[in-house]
Amino acid sequence: MTMATTTTTDPMLPRPYLVRQVAKETPDIFTLTLEPENDPNGDMFLPGQFSMLWVFGVGELPISISGDPASPDRLVYTVRSVGQATHSLVSQRVGESVGVRGPFGAGWPAEVARNRDVIVVAGGIGLAPLRPLIYHVLGNRRDYKRLVVLYGARSPRELLYRKELASWARHHETQVLVTVDYGGLGWRGHVGVVTTLFKYARLQAPRSVAMICGPEIMMRFVARELEAQGLARDDIYLSMERNMKCGVGLCGHCQYEKHFVCKDGPVFRYEQVRSLLEKYEL
Amino acid sequence: METLEPIIANHPFFAGLDGGFTNLMVGCASNVRFQAGDYIFKEGDPANTFYLIREGRVAVEVFAPQHKPIIVATLGVGEILGWSWLLPPYHWKNHAHAVEDTRAIALDGKCLRTKCEQNHDLGYEVLKRFARIIEQRLEATRLQLLDVYSARR
């Protein structure tokens, strides 16, 4: 994985950011755009890193950055409203202040993927942590060969970034395939779990690196399918999600056997976590 | 004029099939076309055919009373549509319609069942290939049932 980019200020100290936009993606998923109150340049971040977002008076949440790493002056987060803290976060109004710590963690291995095909497999809101990588590849198109994006969601109305998915597909040497688990009669796209898309993806395993993000069971099935397609385990990366608190590997809340997800991850090589993915108790 | 033999022989479902078996298949095969929106079969109808999709896309749908129909799978180029012809009572269990203009090879299930009964080596080959498809779709259905993207898991 890529070495972490971290802030030079105290990592435990939230910095004030202003909410610039809140956009509704799906009935319960929102994308927030934040800008720093004091530092117009913002913080550099790597695709796959996350921040701790502090909703004042409510609590702190680990959220992956979903914006373009080439625009560090704005931090973009895509958040599902599932509990009190996330509901408060997505209910912030433009101009209100949010505390930000980070960026934290090891990101997607963009360097490892140079001059190779990049296969991105996302499920549900798992597309959000992968979007910065897609921006990075499209923004540095000559550094990479083919880009294949396979994206699965629960239903058509739960698809994220629909316009962007269509625009990515228009790029040179880029294939974007989208599927939903269930579709109504009005849906004219693919229906089936995300692994059913592999038969339409023109993969060339030996020159490919795959990055996966989604529910763990989905990642397990996808990794298995990628292996069946001929990808080496060392060329498969996935992003884990655990209960991150401190963000710097001190508190132990996100411990995943010998790993701290906040510091050693959230992106891991499949080989590092493969056996853990099949343990009931983890 | 293009014969059906190379089309069947080159279809992924029949990859590696003995040439003699392919000839037996050709005797049960015909070209078919469906326009977008056409129903290919409906639940409960006699199931005496299966299809090798050559072009286009087909949706398999399920409906329940007082619910809108939902599409549970789409099938595209290189895939197989239908296995109800293989097992009694030979009735379709779902609806299927063409999402796009679709070209396919239709294989007459009655004809093929007869040939499989007469030639068990052919029957075993056909069953092995369908068993693989059924296993893949069963696994996909299990994943769908898990509803992994739901926030309320």
Residues of A in contact with B135 (CB under 8 A): none
Residues of B in contact with A199 (CB under 8 A): 76, 78-79
Res B151: pLDDT: 72
Whether pLDDT at A7 is above 70:
no
User: Any residues with CB less than 8 A from the CB of A145 and at least 6 apart, and which?
Assistant: A115, A116, A117, A118, A173, A207
Res B153: pLDDT: 55
Res A227: pLDDT: 94
| CATH code, domain with B78 | 2.60.120.10
Residues A81, A87, A91, CA angle at the centre, nearest 5°? 115
CATH superfamily of A15-104: Translation factors (2.40.30.10)
Over the stretch A9-28, which tens digit does the pLDDT of each residue have? 788 788 999 999 999 999 99
Residue in A152, A265, A2 with CA at minimum distance from that of residue B146: A152
Residues A49, A53, A54, CA angle at the centre, nearest 5°? 160
Residue B149 lies in a domain: no
Res A212: pLDDT: 97
% of residues, chain A, pLDDT over 70: 96
Residue B69 lies in a domain: yes
Task: Determine whether the interchain pair A185/B78 forms a contact, defined as Cβ–Cβ distance below 8 Å.
Answer: no
Q: What token pair was written down for A228? A: 């069946």
Residue B48 lies in a domain: yes
Burial of B119 (0-12, 13-18, 19+ CB in 10 A): middle
Res A166: pLDDT: 96
Whether pLDDT at A278 is above 80:
no
Task: Determine whether the interchain pair A185/B61 forms a contact, defined as Cβ–Cβ distance below 8 Å.
Answer: yes
- Per the structure, the complete domain to which residue B101 belongs is given by 4-144
Residue B151 lies in a domain: no
Res A159: pLDDT: 96
Res A39: pLDDT: 79
Average pLDDT of the segment spanning A144-167: 96
Query: What's the domain count of chain B?
Result: 1
Q: What token pair was written down for A155? A: 């239903």
Q: What is the CATH number of domain A117-239?
A: 3.40.50.80
Tokens 């004030």 appear where? A16
Helical spans, DSSP H, in A73-126: 84-90
Q: Which residues of chain B have pLDDT under 70?
A: 1-2, 152-153
Residues of B in contact with A196 (CB under 8 A): 73, 140
Q: What token pair was written down for A67? A: 């914006």
- Cα separation, B3 vs B6, in Å, equals 7
> Considering CB atoms only, which of B140, B151, B153 is closest to A192?
B140
Task: Determine whether the interchain pair B149/A152 forms a contact, defined as Cβ–Cβ distance below 8 Å.
Answer: yes
Pinpoint the residues of chain A covered by CATH 2.40.30.10: 15-104
CA distance B40 to chain A (A): 15
Q: What token pair was written down for A201? A: 């993806």
Residue B83 lies in a domain: yes
Pinpoint the residues of chain A covered by CATH 3.40.50.80: 117-239
Res B95: pLDDT: 95
Whether pLDDT at A74 is above 90:
yes
> Considering CB atoms only, which of A80, A125, A195 is closest to B140?
A195
- Cα separation, B52 vs A187, in Å, equals 23
> DSSP letters of A175-191?
EEEEEESSEETT--SEE
Tokens 């696994």 appear where? B139
ipTM for the whole complex: 0.86
Over the stretch A200-224, which tens digit does the pLDDT of each residue have? 998 998 899 999 999 989 999 999 9
Best residue of B55, B143, B144 to probe chain A, by most A CBs closer than 10 Å: B143
Residue B119 lies in a domain: yes
- Per the prediction, chain A carries an average pLDDT of 90
Residue A197: alpha-carbon gap to chain centroid: 20
Res B103: pLDDT: 96
